[in-house]
């Protein structure tokens, strides 16, 4: 899905919602636990009930890897089930050197048909380049993350008083463009959005941290949007675990719809 396609979907649905499929086997309603693949059954029900309200799904690889081969199968099948109507993100936070990065790119863009992958930038350009070779695919680099200990390293300033997260944003602009790179900026870091937008007015931002982590949708949107929207706001737990009962899919739809309505204003 290219830049224009994403924008078109956002306009069509009046939504820039990304739903995070952090599907924890222990939080799946008991009625689904006897399914041949509970994670997949849960995801299918969530996708069926929410696909009109969101433009993107983000699959958090950790929750599938924890279930071994069956989890990996659930991930592969979930990507297929979503299809090409939504922007599908592998929240994998991979990051390794050249020949290994080639293999990760193959895994997520070729073996599976994700549109995008999140990447940790610690190893620099070598670890991102192999992903940028894929036409129509996206690399989403961690810049300023939503967690408390983001400050351990991301605010370390260089001799020009440029914190690490800005160095990442600044360097990455030499590697790719606003048509194949996005950045993660956490919803809990709203005071930094204006700084980020000075460096990258055009790029899409993937913004996690709404809801469970404390970010506020209205404030986040106001501070981070650009003229073509330019943001994907992720919500995971608030939507997919809105109910722990058999009405989980309807409850998820209701939460997703609430966010979509807020976004349509």
Catalytic residue annotation: 93
**Least gap, CB of 72 to a copy of itself (angstroms):** 4
By C-beta, is 213 or 226 nearer to a copy of itself?
213
Q: Does residue number 133 form part of the binding site for a copy of itself (CB under 8 A)? A: no
Which of 36, 16, 4, 5 is closest to 225 using CA atoms? 16
**Least gap, CB of 34 to a copy of itself (angstroms):** 20
Of 57-96, binders to a copy of itself (CB under 8 A) are: 60, 62-63, 65-69, 72-73, 76, 91, 93-96
**Least gap, CB of 246 to a copy of itself (angstroms):** 24
Q: Does residue number 145 form part of the binding site for a copy of itself (CB under 8 A)? A: yes
The footprint of a copy of itself on this chain (CB under 8 A) covers a number of residues equal to 58
Q: Does residue number 125 form part of the binding site for a copy of itself (CB under 8 A)? A: yes
The correct pick among 28, 40, 112, 169 for binding a copy of itself (CB under 8 A) is 112
Q: Does residue number 199 form part of the binding site for a copy of itself (CB under 8 A)? A: no
Q: Does residue number 248 form part of the binding site for a copy of itself (CB under 8 A)? A: no
Q: How many beta carbons lie within 10 A of that of residue 70, not counting itself? A: 15
Determine the Cα–Cα distance for residues 139 and 103; give it in Å rounded to an integer.
15
The correct pick among 53, 104, 131, 193 for binding a copy of itself (CB under 8 A) is 104
* Phi, psi at 143, each rounded to 5°: -115, -75
Q: Does residue number 120 form part of the binding site for a copy of itself (CB under 8 A)? A: yes
Q: Does residue number 36 form part of the binding site for a copy of itself (CB under 8 A)? A: no
Interaction site with a copy of itself (CB under 8 A): 22, 24, 60, 62-63, 65-69, 72-73, 76, 91, 93-101, 103-104, 106-108, 110-112, 120-127, 142, 145-154, 156-159, 164, 167-168, 171
């Amino acid at each position: 899905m290219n830049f224009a396609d994403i924008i078109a979907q956002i306009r069509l649905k009046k939504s820039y919602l990304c739903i995070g499929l952090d599907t924890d086997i222990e939080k799946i309603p008991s009625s689904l636990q006897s399914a041949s693949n509970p994670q997949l059954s849960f995801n299918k029900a969530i996708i069926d009930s929410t696909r009109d309200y969101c433009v993107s799904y983000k699959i958090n690889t950790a929750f599938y890897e924890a279930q071994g081969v069956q989890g990996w199968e659930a991930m592969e099948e979930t990507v297929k089930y979503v299809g090409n109507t939504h922007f599908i993100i592998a929240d994998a936070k991979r990051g390794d050197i050249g020949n290994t990065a080639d293999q990760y790119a193959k895994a997520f863009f070729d073996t599976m048909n994700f549109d995008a992958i999140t990447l940790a930038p610690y190893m620099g350009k070598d670890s991102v380049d192999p992903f940028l070779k894929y036409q129509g695919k996206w690399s989403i680099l961690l810049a300023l993350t939503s967690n408390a200990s983001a400050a351990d390293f991301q605010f370390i300033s260089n001799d020009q008083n440029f914190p690490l997260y800005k160095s990442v944003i600044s360097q990455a602009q030499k590697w790719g463009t606003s048509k194949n790179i996005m950045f993660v900026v956490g919803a809990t870091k709203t005071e930094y959005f204006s700084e980020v937008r000075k460096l990258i007015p055009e790029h899409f931002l993937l913004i996690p941290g709404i809801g469970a982590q404390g970010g506020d949708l209205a404030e986040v949107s106001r501070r981070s949007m650009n003229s073509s929207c330019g943001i994907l706001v992720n919500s995971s737990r608030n939507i997919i675990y809105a109910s722990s009962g058999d009405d989980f899919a309807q409850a998820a739809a209701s939460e997703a719809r609430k966010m979509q309505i807020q976004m349509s204003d």
